[in-house]
Amino acid sequence: MMTSKRTLFAALAAAVTLLCAPAQAHRVYPMSYELAPVGSGAATVLRVDNTTERPLTLEVTAEKRTWDEQGNEMRTPADEDFLILPPQLIVEPGKTQAIRVQYVGDPTIDQTAMYVIGVNQVPVTDPTAGTGVQFVINFGTAAYVVPAGAKTELKIVSVAAASTPGTMEVVLENSGARYAPLGSTTWTFTNGAGQKMELSGDPLRETLIASVVPSGGRRIFTVPAAEGFALTAPIQLVIK
């Protein structure tokens, strides 16, 4: 069944679900990566560092993802598209475990397929613990399966004052076969009076929520105007 989720962007669309965090936690890396539809480039290796003082029980899952125009994320189970070894594992304290992730889905895709490879902690009852509270941390790594030769074709459709005062509505389309990541770009707005406003880095990523335009997709972003930046038409935008 398809589910709809609103996610905060972290590192090219990588999401970390933190239910309850201890002072120290484990690490998963890389958090974002590209795979080829076929051949040696269809596989990568994730690594998990257990920096806690207890064994870590994990399971690895795959979900296909996309976003609607407003940035609402939709995921569907996609374990059949990947060969994951091992799919369940226990990482001892202070140790590092490798996880091999290989795409085995449709090799003839003509647009980027986007997935979340989840490295999810399995709650385990510890009889020596003095409390019933369990700390569970789930990492969602972003996997992009990109066809050979695919390119991004990003178009700024429109920029205008939005219905909410002090904000702009930006409409982007990507007609290319490659997804368009926006988190590392710089947005420069120029209003009708010649004033400029620049947005980049963490402020941009926090504003965009999910900073990706899927291949063949369209996104609508609401961007707050900086103090003193008048929403005088026409408003122009350059993305670099």
Distances 77 to 116, 118, 182, 187, 188 between C-alpha atoms, Å: 10, 11, 26, 34, 38
Tell whether the model's pLDDT for residue 10 goes beyond 50: no
* Fold match, 3-145 / 154-239: yes
Paired residues of 120 in beta bridges: 59, 138
pLDDT score recorded for residue 5: 37
Angle at 171 between CA 179 and CA 188, to 5 degrees: 90
Question: Does 3-145 carry CATH code 3.40.50.620?
Answer: no
Residue found under tokens 């993305």: 239
Bridge partners for 155 per DSSP: 173
Please say whether the beta carbons of 139 and 31 come within 8 A: yes
Q: How far apart are CA 173 and CA 156, in angstroms?
A: 7
pLDDT per position as a tens digit, 77-108: 999 999 999 999 999 999 999 999 999 999 99
Q: What is the pLDDT of residues 177-231, one digit of tens each?
A: 999 999 999 999 999 999 999 999 999 999 998 899 999 999 999 999 999 999 9
Q: Report the pLDDT value the prediction gives residue 127, as an integer from 0 to 100.
A: 62
Q: Is the pLDDT of residue 60 over 70?
A: yes
Closest to 230 measured CA to CA, from 199, 200, 172, 189: 189
pLDDT of residue 20: 36
pLDDT digits (tens, 9 = 90+) for 17-53: 333 344 447 899 999 999 999 999 999 999 999 998 8
- CATH architecture of the region 154-239: Sandwich (2.60)
Nearest Cα neighbor of 13 from 49, 67, 58, 78 is 67
pLDDT at 13 over 90: no
Whether residue 239 is predicted with pLDDT greater than 80 in this model: the reply is yes
124-166, pLDDT tens digit by residue? 876 665 556 666 889 999 999 999 999 999 999 999 999 999 9
Per-residue model confidence (pLDDT) at position 209: 84
pLDDT of residue 130: 57
The token pair that represents 123 in the structure block? 């709650």
pLDDT of residue 26: 86
pTM: 0.85
Q: What residue ranges do the domains of the chain occupy?
A: 3-145, 154-239
pLDDT of 11 reads 34
- Distance (Å, rounded) from C-alpha 170 to C-alpha 67? 16
